[in-house]
Chain A
Amino acid sequence: MENLPSGRNRALLCCYLVISACCFLPALGIAFNSPELILGIPMSVLWLTGCFVALAALTVAGYILVFRHWSGDDCSPRDSR
């Protein structure tokens, strides 16, 4: 496909995909799929909470590092016509 994101956008997208993949570890039965309590919180809940907090932090970091500087670059194919 044309117009894949470039540079920092790619890095951001990669981080998003990695964290998203980590969210699936309990659902796929690979890891952290247990009601065992860690710090008083079920393991599965703790892991997913950590992942989603990381995603939220990524959103904030993404804004500061990438999206604030967007205007005018990295258009869709149609934008640039």
Chain B
Amino acid sequence: MTTIIVTFVILYLVAGLCLGVFAMKRSQDSGEDYFVAKRSVSWIPLGLTLFATWMSTFAFIGSPGFYYKIGVRWFLPHGFLVVGSPLLLWFIGRHIWRQGREHGYITPADLLADFYKSHTVRLIVACICILALIPYCLIQLVGIGKVLEVATHGALPYVYGVVLSAVGIAVYTYLGGVRAIIWTDALQAVVFGLLMLVGATVAVKAAGGLAGGFKSATLVRPEAFTFAPGKVGSPLTLLVIWSFGYVLLPHMWQRAYMAKSEESLSRSIVLGSVLALALICIPSLLMGTLGIGFMSDLPDTDQFVPTLYRTFLPAALPLLVVATFAAGMSTVDSQLLSAASVVVRDIAQPLAKQRFTPHIERKLGRVFMLTFVSLLVALAVSPDSQGSIILLASKGTGIALLLLVPLCGPLFWTRATRAGGIASLLVGPAALLILEANLIKMHLPFGVGAPVAALVLQAVFFVGCSLVFRKDPSS
């Protein structure tokens, strides 16, 4: 079985490499083409790439495991992530698209720095973007490593999966840029959809049917199907993070820039949303919650999906491993490219005090990507990074949430000033760091988490400083 699994993985990686080479031949040597495909992506590939980006190891491995762990309490934020956040992408993404097209923006910092007329804003936003992407990239490699290890009964240790996927990602992203990603995402979207449906079917059969399965699960752990009274803070925090923070992750923001037109963006969001509900949310809910009834306590709930397949459908293990590679790689490649664009345009270019040629942009982007992948591998193999996928990912999305308040300026509030923008961008990260690291011990109201508290504090400073320092208009 290990040989079959390795063969499938190699075939998949070769297919990805071929697509990368093909995309390289079709691309142009410019940052706009390499990072946002010259804003020419129509609605079907855009919708599929949105769906594939949603369908990371977070969705494929982490979510079913988290449903298994905490039941319906994950359904609230997860449902909003897959169904609610597309609507937010509409309300917010449309304006981002329009301004991106009008002003030639490529990164989130381009938009915010231009509105607030501030290099300080650019630098802070760039740092937030990179920090937000690290945990989310990390969980992809972590997820792949865990699945490969469980699927092969330890024959291929965790590190092998991490390194193999990192090499695959680095190669096809290096070659083809975002065009390679869009095409591989389209392929991967098909693979994920099938495997999620298969996984849900396996879980329903293993549970003895839907009704019987839920009856067993509610008898085994009834508390997994209720919300704890008075403890709405935790699901609320996850909901805010995953509804708002997720669409502000740089690679999602840049997908708004990529659309050929508003019509493409609109249609792609409908496509992505419907696919995500039908192929991510409902199947992972079924897998995880029914699993409560027939699978005994697992020490690491991220092992739930590979254990499900290994126990009840071992013949599909090779496909599962390939799908996990696909899920992880299709997400981290986007994030890698996004991080490269941020570093080149928002950090390197301002520091060099000159505008890079498209050729230099692309070269620097590639160098950064290889360095970043190496860093991710180093982090992924450290024991501290091998925790729960969902909780790790939430760290990154919580950081991206820090962009929401300053974004309200260019989108909705003309009275926002540079002082308000900078204040919110300094206060937010500082508050998040202080609260997450417990540097100041405090009990937050309603038990909300640090990201929500930091968001509220940001808003207060944003509005306050904008109103006080009115003579420093942003544009």
**In contact, B227 and A76 (Cβ under 8 angstroms):** no
Segment among B2-10, B25-33, B133-141, B273-281 that sits at the interface with chain A: B273-281
**In contact, B274 and A60 (Cβ under 8 angstroms):** yes
Knowing A1-B412, A77-B412, A78-B410, the reply to whether A45 touches B285 (Cβ < 8 A) is: yes
Q: Among B87, B218, B273, B413, point to the contact of A16 (Cβ < 8 A).
A: B87
**Can you offer 25 A-B residue contacts whose CB atoms are under 8 A?**
A2-B414, A23-B79, A26-B72, A26-B226, A34-B225, A35-B218, A35-B222, A37-B214, A40-B211, A40-B214, A41-B210, A41-B214, A44-B72, A44-B225, A44-B226, A44-B227, A45-B214, A48-B76, A49-B285, A52-B83, A53-B277, A58-B87, A71-B262, A76-B411, A76-B412
CB distance from A74 to the nearest CB of B (A): 9
**In contact, A45 and B225 (Cβ under 8 angstroms):** yes
**In contact, A56 and B227 (Cβ under 8 angstroms):** no
| Nearest A residue (CB) for B225 | A35
Chain A residues 6-59 with CB under 8 Å of chain B are 13, 16, 20, 23-24, 26-29, 33-35, 37, 39-42, 44-45, 48-49, 51-53, 55-56, 58-59
Segment among B191-199, B264-272, B339-347 that sits at the interface with chain A: B264-272
Taking each of B80, B225, B289, which has the highest tally of chain A beta carbons within 10 Å of its own beta carbon? B225
| Nearest A residue (CB) for B82 | A52
Distance, CA A26 to CA B80, complexed state (A):
15
| Nearest B residue (CB) for A81 | B475
List A contacts of B212 (CB < 8 A): 40
| Nearest A residue (CB) for B213 | A40
Chain B residues with CB under 8 Å of chain A are: 72-73, 75-76, 79-80, 82-84, 86-87, 90-91, 94-95, 98-99, 102, 115, 210-212, 214-215, 218, 222, 224-227, 229-230, 232, 235-236, 261-263, 266-267, 269-270, 273-274, 277, 281-282, 285, 289, 410-414, 475
Chain A residues with CB under 8 Å of chain B are: 1-3, 5, 13, 16, 20, 23-24, 26-29, 33-35, 37, 39-42, 44-45, 48-49, 51-53, 55-56, 58-60, 62-63, 67-68, 70-71, 75-79, 81
**In contact, B99 and A79 (Cβ under 8 angstroms):** yes
Distance, CA A30 to CA B211, complexed state (A):
25
List B contacts of A23 (CB < 8 A): 76, 79-80
List B contacts of A81 (CB < 8 A): 475
Q: Among A13, A28, A59, point to the contact of B232 (Cβ < 8 A).
A: A28
| Nearest B residue (CB) for A19 | B84
CB distance from A34 to the nearest CB of B (A): 6
**In contact, A67 and B99 (Cβ under 8 angstroms):** no
| Nearest B residue (CB) for A9 | B91
For the complex with contacts A55-B84, A75-B95, 20 further pairs of A-B residues with Cβ separation under 8 Å are A2-B414, A3-B412, A23-B76, A23-B80, A26-B227, A27-B73, A33-B226, A37-B211, A42-B289, A45-B72, A45-B214, A45-B289, A52-B82, A55-B79, A56-B274, A59-B270, A70-B94, A76-B98, A76-B411, A78-B115
Distance, CA A79 to CA B414, complexed state (A):
11
List A contacts of B412 (CB < 8 A): 1-3, 76-77
Distance, CA A48 to CA B230, complexed state (A):
19
Distance, CA A60 to CA B275, complexed state (A):
12
**In contact, A62 and B410 (Cβ under 8 angstroms):** no
Distance, CA A49 to CA B75, complexed state (A):
9
Q: Among A24, A39, A48, point to the contact of B72 (Cβ < 8 A).
A: A48
Taking each of B211, B227, B289, which has the highest tally of chain A beta carbons within 10 Å of its own beta carbon? B227
CB distance from B408 to the nearest CB of A (A): 8
**In contact, B87 and A55 (Cβ under 8 angstroms):** yes
**In contact, B289 and A76 (Cβ under 8 angstroms):** no
**In contact, B90 and A62 (Cβ under 8 angstroms):** yes
Knowing A63-B266, A70-B266, the reply to whether A45 touches B75 (Cβ < 8 A) is: yes
Knowing A1-B412, A37-B215, A48-B76, the reply to whether A62 touches B87 (Cβ < 8 A) is: yes
Taking each of A53, A68, A75, A77, which has the highest tally of chain B beta carbons within 10 Å of its own beta carbon? A77
**In contact, A76 and B218 (Cβ under 8 angstroms):** no
Distance, CA A76 to CA B111, complexed state (A):
13
Taking each of A33, A67, A79, which has the highest tally of chain B beta carbons within 10 Å of its own beta carbon? A67
CB distance from B90 to the nearest CB of A (A): 6
Knowing A71-B263, A76-B412, the reply to whether A27 touches B87 (Cβ < 8 A) is: no
Q: Among A1, A29, A40, point to the contact of B210 (Cβ < 8 A).
A: A40
Taking each of A5, A20, A27, which has the highest tally of chain B beta carbons within 10 Å of its own beta carbon? A27
Distance, CA A29 to CA B231, complexed state (A):
10
**In contact, A27 and B76 (Cβ under 8 angstroms):** yes
CB-CB nearest 4 A-B residue pairs: A40-B211, A35-B225, A52-B79, A42-B225
List B contacts of A39 (CB < 8 A): 211
List A contacts of B83 (CB < 8 A): 52, 55-56, 59
